[in-house]
Amino acid sequence: MTLDWTNRRADRLRSLPPYVFARLDELKARAREQGLDLIDLGMGNPDGPTPQPIVDAAIAAMHDSRNHGYPPFEGTANFRKAITDWYYRRYQVPLDPDGEALPLLGSKEGLTHLAMAYINPGDTVLVPSPAYPAHFRGPAIAGADIYPLVLKPENNWLIDLAAIPDAVAQQAKVLYFNYPSNPTAATAPREFFEEIVAFARRHEILLVHDQAYAELAFDGFQPTSLLEIPGAKDIGVEFHTMSKTYNMAGWRVGFVVGNRHIIQGLRTLKTNLDYGIFSVLQTAAETALQLPDVYLHKVQARYRARRDFLIQGLAELGWDVAKPLATMYLWVPCPPGMTSANFALEVLQQTGVVFTPGSAFGDGGEGYVRVSLIAECDRLGEALRRMKDAGITYTSGTQASAPNSQSLIPNP
């Protein structure tokens, strides 16, 4: 007898939102099988190599047999010290490396496990929509009652704290947020951070700030850290990642800083789930945090040039996209009459260019696609040329389509 294990899955898996990438992934696979040249601007996966000093540090650490055993649960002392030194250098906020910093197997792991550490089934959790999926999938796995904070372009994609009903705010236990934002690329002024800290303190809400894109800032903009705000450390933590700034996405290293009691709760959960980060990787990450700023400036210049190039090219196709001050994304409206999933599929079928539908980030992302700046300008130019040749433009009242052109990928 063969059991149907699909129907025996835990309720926590059934509660997860539908996986909207399914058809898109299927078509990407079919395109590659046909040998088509995909230009994948859908992933948030930085292109290019990890800086050589980081690689060299990892190689040297690999040859040291002392790094071959289990690492400390709370991370190596050297890496934690490098984290707090880096944080003070960036934000002038002093932190205790022995309790206010914890290395993670990437920030996504920490964001999700924090939900498991602090959220009980039925707890109310405030999550923006659209949002990075870990911000709502982690609470969903923990059984939370998620209250979506729908973000709007007329409010510059900022959370409207005044729109949260008092009854909901009084019930809420945790609030996830993320500025600079994935997927919208929105940034928040310091005044917003002051307001959200006051809001969380008033309602005794745990604040979880995802600061993955703080270093990818342009045009003189300097993102605010949650912990710069007086009183924030009483009720909040902030997550960082090595993935974006240092091209270390596959290395899976991140960290959380902030309230030591909140961090201790996450550490307690993690000691029952994993053994921490391979010490070799912690040595590499320590090296990354100590790199001179010239490396950061190169990364910023690369993404800024791609941002400007792609925005100009999209303008020639009818799109008016404002220049974001941070992140590695553009948040691009779909032509009228098209859902984000349909538009992304249309572009893929007609051109072999991959965008991420906004609906992947929650209902509030409908009507947009996220475009990642993870290709050099020559490839971005090729993507724009293909869109132009396929007749894919943004014109009010029309759809993006190319009825007289042949799809690169046949419909099923």
Answer whether residue 410 is part of any domain. Answer: no
**What is the per-residue pLDDT across 113-131, written as a single tens digit (0 to 9) for each?**
999 999 999 999 999 999 9
User: Is 403 inside any structural domain?
Assistant: no
The answer to whether residue 315 sits within a structural domain is yes
pLDDT at 208 over 70: yes
Q: How would residue 395 be classed by pLDDT, with cut points 50, 70 and 90?
A: confident
Q: How confident is the model at residue 401 (pLDDT cuts 50, 70, 90)?
A: very low
The predicted structure's pLDDT at residue 349:
87
pLDDT in tens, 291-330: 999 999 999 999 999 999 999 999 999 999 999 999 999 9
Mean pLDDT in the chain?
A: 91
Q: What is the CA radius of gyration of the chain?
A: 22
76 is a domain residue: yes
Boundary of a domain, candidates 289, 314, 342: 289
**Which of the four pLDDT bands, split at 50, 70 and 90, describes residue 18?**
low
How many domains does one find in the chain?
2
Q: Is residue 151 part of a domain?
A: yes
- Does residue 89 sit within a domain? yes
Chosen domain end from 289, 321, 350: 289
Domain that holds residue 219: 52-289
Residues 102, 69 share a domain? yes
Domain holding 302: CATH number? 3.90.1150.10
Measured distance between the N- and C-terminal CA atoms of the chain, rounded to whole angstroms: 33
Are both 314 and 282 inside the same structural domain? no
Query: Do 241 and 266 touch, CB atoms closer than 8 A?
Result: no
Share of the chain above pLDDT 70, in %: 93
Q: Are 278 and 105 in contact (CB under 8 A)?
A: no
Q: Which of 237, 260, 289 is the last residue of a domain?
A: 289
Residue 260 confidence (pLDDT) above 90: yes
What is the Cα–Cα distance from 174 to 112, expressed in whole angstroms?
A: 13
Q: Indicate whether 27 and 140 sit together in one domain.
A: no
Single-letter amino acid, residue 40: D
Co-location of 281 and 310 in the same domain: no
Q: Is residue 409 part of a domain?
A: no
What is the CATH classification number for the domain harbouring 72? 3.40.640.10
Domain assignment of residue 406, yes or no:
no
